[in-house]
Structure 1
Amino acid sequence: MKITVLDGNALNPGDLSWSPLEKFGQVAVFPRTEASLVAERIGDSDAILLNKINITEEILDKCPKLKYIGVQATGYNVIDLEACKRHNITVTNVPSYSTAGVAQLVFAFISEFACHTQLHSDSVMSGEWTNCPDFCYWKVPLIELEGKTLGIFGYGSIGSRVARIAEAYGMKVIVCTRTPKPEIKNPVDISTLFNESDFISLHAPLTEKTRNVVNKTTLSLMKKTAFLINTARGPLVNEKDVREFLDNGRIAGYAADVVSKEPMKKDNPLLGAKNCIITPHIAWAATETRQRLLNIVIENLKCFIMGKPQNVVS
């Protein structure tokens, strides 16, 4: 079997090992692949692994030996699934591998908005504490999370993990989801979610119904003291509208690990926005998280070879 990894650098920039794949056949790993080179690099491969490479019918027509596509992520919108069905190609993904990492980043954002640790550390390092007449000071109002309301939009594995952490902080959790579940204590509609929450955390998949769900209409429902967090998908949010509400002080802050186009473009309206924290899609990047992902990628391929494919999306 010939196995080709088309964009391996994100998952494994060198601190993990591809060697377990070698027991299945010949392995070629490319750190990145430009769109113009995708078909050429697939060539006569039997199986390919990828993260953000678009696979179209045109590419599949040029690669008749291809029988398996392993997506090294949960989302698989880069793959033309209908074309894969026509070409009898099995496509798998990796669900739920990053739950712990994403939930952890959500609370890193929440904690930063509540405690402003970097602001105060920078102040101390610049000498302000050594010149202070009092034993303590604070640069901005601080927030205690106990008793605050966290609104969760979308309640899959990550949303439910975030809810459990919030409850440990003593927060009230309200949830807006398309799929009612018995464990949800406080289900609400979207208007109530945006109106009542002190923090809102987005955890819904990107669909035509959820695209731009955060816009002027929903933002206008938020308290001026409320914060919005997006670790799901960039296009859930109308970034121009968020910038306007931040600059005008109509919401207290926005934090995101994802943006509408990645890598971030120079004209992204969030660059330079007030009270805005942006990280470069790192929620999944902990070594432990990526190793878990790689393990499942390898297991997916193994199961396909054994004739018992798992995590099949097409």
Structure 2
Amino acid sequence: MYEIKTLNKIAACGTDIFDKAKYSVSDNAENPTAIMVRSAKMHDMEMPSELLAIARAGAGVNNIPVDKCAEQGIVVFNTPGANANAVKEIALCGLLMASRKIPEAMQWAQSLKGSGAEVGKLVEKGKSNFAGCEIMGKTLGLIGLGAIGGKLANIAISLGMNVIGYDPFLSVGAALSLKPQVKVTANINDIYACADYISLHLPYNAETKDTINKETIALCKDGVKLLNFARGELVNSADIIEAVGSGKVSRYVVDFPCDEILGVENIVAIPHLGASTEESEDNCAVMAANELIDYIERGAIRNSVNFPNAELAKTGDALVCVLHKNTPAIISQVTAAVSDKGANIENLVNKSKKDWAYTMLDVNGEVDVEAINAVEGVVKVRVL
């Protein structure tokens, strides 16, 4: 029986996918085979000895010690694209709130409570304080054209905007999904130079931290409007506050509030509602559950953030799945450890991802697991 531990409430449509004859799902499993998590912090958590995988029901994995998990042979999955439509829709909302002072106007309208018959006159008198601009004909610059950025690009074209995007890792599939009117540039500075609106849709890591800072803001058009529905740390808080204060940035809409930006005029802080829809939570839960089932039962890896995607059909006596460091000579040592016992390798798949690799061997004959484990750089061996 495989135990699946949930660290947050996971939508039932996801947990119900697990076959009850093979799996038990609970929030109190003591030595789980896998963990499903949303926002719970795991950096200080001691990983159970039998843990094979962690599935994050969402895109970001900042709450998971990804590198530590790789060292322990724990595959970390996320669910890219499952919440893309939800974030696209709130980013569209943010685009409109960047143009029109809707939050401030609504708050002001509430302040008229108790004015009786004078409300109508006060509204007509005060509404000019909240005048804005239209998005039609303006240029939207997108930094990141993945599942969310690409969807926003297409809808912006439909709304009459000009769109330019930058993504050094743009996949063929993502490129083909873009409307032909979307211009793609290989130079991020083109975004800063021509965009009236800039929307961030890139992952947060050491390289992307403070992508928007004093220097990059200086390259932008005066009065540029900035949207951040990706990660708060992509924008330097002190620099954006200064830019908004000077008017260089006329509006900053962000889905990741921090103490520094709260209460600052022309900064619209939304309490991380990007993926907070019923549909998004369901989609993420279902994708996360299927990723875990595929890995636990078939050794297949899809959408891992620390190991490469790979799968191989089992046709022989055993499917040997080896997680290891991406260093020279490991594959030859692993295959030698298999063949030295007299087993025959019918098929083999090896994939790598930065410092880590995954080798799958379809084998006929007896497998010496201890010999494979003894190979330097191997962190986990499973035989299915």
Identify the TM-score tier after normalising by the shorter chain. 0.7 to 0.9
1:123 CA drift (Å):
5.0
Deviation at 1:188, TM superposition (A): 5.5
Give the AA of the match of 1:103. Answer: K
Q: What amino acid maps onto 1:87 in structure 2?
A: Q
Relative to structure 1, the CA distance from residue 223 to residue 129 in structure 2 (aligned partners, 3 Å threshold; closer, same or farther) is: farther
SS in 2 for 1:178: coil
Equivalent-residue separation in structure 2 for 1:57 and 1:124 (angstroms): 46
Gaps of 5+ in 2: 308-384
Q: Which residue in the other structure is 2:5 paired with?
A: 4
Identify, as 1 or 2, the structure richer in strand.
2
User: How far 1:66 sits from its partner (Å)?
Assistant: 1.6
* Contact 2:164–2:185, Cα closer than 8 Å, also in 1: yes
Alignment-derived partner of residue 98 in structure 2: 113
Distance 1:46 1:246 in 2: 49
Residues in 2 aligned to 1:90 and 1:116: alpha-carbon distance in whole angstroms? 45
Q: Measured at CA, do residues 90 and 177 of structure 1 come closer, stay the same or move farther in structure 2, by a change above 3 Å?
A: closer
Partner of 2:303: 311
Aligned positions of 1:154-303 closer than 5 A: 154-179=144-169, 181=175, 184-187=182-185, 189-259=187-257, 264=258, 268-303=259-294
Q: Structure 2 CA distance, aligned partners of 1:302 and 1:120?
A: 49
The answer to whether the 8 Å contact 1:94/1:296 transfers is: yes
Structure 1 residues 116-145: Cα deviation after superposition (integer angstroms, max 9, x where no partner): 334444555526652269799533332111
- What is the CA distance between 1:199 and its match in structure 2? 0.8
Match of 1:306, SS state, is helix
Contact 1:57 1:83 in 2 (8 A): no
Report the Cα offset of residue 311 of structure 1.
Answer: 2.6
- C-alpha distance in 1 between matches for 2:134 and 2:294: 48
Report what 2:36 is aligned to: 49
Q: Does 1:67 align with 2:57?
A: no
Paired amino acid for 1:312? S
Give me the TM-score of the superposition, normalised by structure 1: 0.81
Q: Which moved more, 1:85-94 or 1:195-204?
A: 85-94
- Structure 1 unmatched runs, 5+: 30-40
- One-letter identity of the residue aligned with 2:216: T
Larger Rg: 2
Partner SS state of residue 252, structure 1 = strand
Deviation at 1:109, TM superposition (A): 1.1
Larger displacement relative to structure 2 (291-300 or 70-79): 70-79
Indicate conservation of the 8 Å contact 1:153/1:202, yes or no: yes
Distance 1:70 1:203 in 2: 22
Alignment check: 8 A CA contact 1:124 1:130 kept? no
Deviation at 1:280, TM superposition (A): 1.4
The 1-side partners of 2:270 and 2:236 are apart by 17
Whether the 8 Å contact between 1:257 and 1:281 is mirrored in structure 2 is yes
TM-score, structure 2 normalization: 0.67
Cross-structure match for 1:36: none
User: Once structures 1 and 2 are overlaid, which stretch shifts more, 184-193 or 172-181?
Assistant: 184-193
The sequence identity of aligned pairs, in percent, is 25
Deviation at 1:77, TM superposition (A): 4.1
Single out whichever of 208-217 and 172-181 deviates more from structure 2.
Answer: 172-181
Q: Residues 57 and 84 of structure 1 are in contact (CA less than 8 Å); yes or no, is this contact kept in structure 2?
A: no
Question: How far apart in 1 are the matches of 2:109 and 2:212?
Answer: 37
Could you list the structure 1 runs, at least 4 aligned residues long, displaced by more than 6 angstroms after superposition.
Answer: 133-136
| Equivalenced residues, count | 290
Q: What letter matches 2:78 in structure 1?
A: N
Aligned equivalent of 1:84: 69
Is the 1:203–1:232 contact (alpha carbons within 8 Å) kept by the matching residues of 2?
Answer: yes
How far has the Cα of 1:105 moved from its partner? 0.9
1:35 aligned partner:
none
Q: Which residue of 1 aligns with 2:81?
A: 96
C-alpha contact 1:21 1:298 (8 A) present in aligned 2: yes
Cα distance in 2 for residues equivalent to 1:133 and 1:69: 53
Q: 1:296 aligns to what SS in structure 2?
A: helix
Instruction: Evaluate the alpha carbon distance shift between residue 67 and residue 143 of structure 1 in structure 2; reply closer, same or farther with a 3 A threshold.
Output: same
Matches of 1:129 and 1:244 in 2, distance apart? 36
Per the alignment, residue 352 of structure 2 pairs with none
For 1:58 and 1:78, locate their aligned partners in 2 and report how far apart those are by CA, in whole Å.
11
**Offset at residue 170 of structure 1 (A):** 0.6
280 and 157 in structure 1: CA distance in 2 versus 1, 3 angstrom threshold: same
